[in-house]
Chain A
């Protein structure tokens, strides 16, 4: 967050792109949702530091 322009808030510190409480397939879907959001952000114009959420 210190000056980075495109930030997506992850799931948690110990599991940024996952959730151990979910069954495997559901967790993978969650991970996919995060990555799809990340790709969308990469296609977005930003001028200041923007913090996105899923």
Chain B
């Protein structure tokens, strides 16, 4: 039995902090050196190994006006306290409170290097915004669920701080299962040991599918969101074309730090200097482990067709080529990040007169 006491900061809003209701929603931070309101029950649930050394109370409106800034302000207030854990809420269905709790936990994880745990109802907007940044326990939609929610938070807190490696995980992390500990998935993917081999599962599931019995795919593929296609170009000879590629083409030395797999960055390179018209020796490299790169290194036009575009421009088929080409490396990068990269590129493109984009992919 360890005599270590884990130091906990508890964040709550003006209502649970016993200052008042909506009328006090604009209040700023107040720090108390002991548990307050639901914090008293929380302290009892957490037991002797934990101590709520500080309760931080704040008005929902005050926080919601600028969660990033407010959480930064809170962090400054908590600096000397040096806690081991931050617990926020639970916020149930309250949206502003949920966002505040999520932002507080995220700040705790990122700046203070400690776990953050909160609790919310599934429809609370804080869940979608913060479930990947911190642990958000499932709760009912109202304060009637307070005690079960605090028990869930406690159970998770004890596991995170006192538990060891999760023996079910191949990578041996101390990461409890979302189903078992009743928190929303944090959007991470893990190998888990299981008693049934992949082959056994495959045969069992396929037999169920053939017999028309119930089966659950181990991955349920998503249908992609549909959107309106941009209208077609009308006057091609007035158009400026920009080129984009995810084949990992970069100047030798990879100055922008593309990664060969799971890459997260992109850059633009000036066409005139990267592909000089006289084709003087340029030094390229391919930063992409998903294909054999020699053919593109031998002739980068096979990836970024500047030579043909120059011809078409000279003939007046198109009006111009955007002076920079957009380059990234697309190999096992999670789809969401790919979408962000696309959005970032589009935002850059909007600064210029670009009428259409040709994107080449390996």
Contact = CB atoms under 8 A, between A and B. Distances in A.
A–B contact via C-beta, under 8 angstroms: yes
Interface of A: 2-3, 5-6, 10, 13-18, 20, 27-28, 31-32, 34-36, 38-39, 42-47
B131 to A, nearest CB: 23
A13 B248 CA distance: 13
Nearest to A35: B308
Given A42-B232, A43-B233, A43-B236, A17 B305 contact: yes
B233 A18 contact: no
Interface of B: 224-227, 229, 231-234, 236, 241, 247, 291-296, 298-299, 301-303, 305, 307-309, 311-312, 317-318, 335, 356, 358, 360-362
B308 A32 contact: yes
B360 A16 contact: yes
A39 B360 CA distance: 13
Contact of A15 (B231, B302, B312, B317): B302
Contacts of A31: 301-302, 305, 307-308
Contacts, number: 87
Given A14-B362, A16-B362, A18-B299, A44 B232 contact: yes
14 contacts: A3-B224, A5-B229, A10-B360, A17-B308, A20-B302, A27-B299, A28-B308, A31-B302, A31-B305, A31-B307, A32-B308, A35-B312, A42-B356, A43-B233
For A2, A15, A27, A47, which residue has the most chain B Cβ atoms within 10 angstroms? A15
B302 A18 contact: yes
Nearest to B357: A42
For B301, B358, B360, which residue has the most chain A Cβ atoms within 10 angstroms? B358
